[in-house]
Homo-oligomer: A and B are copies of this chain.
Amino acid sequence: MLRQELKELTVSTRGRGFYECTEQISSIVEPSGIQVGVATLHLQHTSASLLIQENADPEVRRDLERFFGRLVPDGDKIFRHTAEGEDDMPAHVRTALTAVNLSIPITEGRLALGTWQGIYLWEHRLAPHHRRITIHLIGE
Contact = CB atoms under 8 A, between A and B. Distances in A.
B105 A103 contact: no
Contacts of A16: none
Given A46-B52, A114-B45, A117-B46, A136 B63 contact: no
Contacts of A121: none
Contact of A92 (B45, B64, B89, B99): B64
A92 B4 contact: no
B46 A53 contact: yes
A38 interface: yes
Interface residues of A, number: 64
B42 A104 contact: yes
A89 B68 CA distance: 13
Point out which of A47, A57, A140 has the most chain B C-beta atoms below 10 A from its C-beta.
A57
B59 A80 contact: yes
Contact of A89 (B60, B117, B139): B60
27 contacts: A2-B3, A4-B36, A6-B105, A6-B107, A37-B136, A38-B136, A40-B103, A40-B105, A42-B112, A43-B114, A45-B117, A46-B53, A46-B54, A47-B54, A60-B81, A60-B92, A62-B81, A63-B79, A63-B81, A64-B92, A67-B72, A99-B99, A102-B103, A103-B103, A105-B135, A106-B136, A112-B134
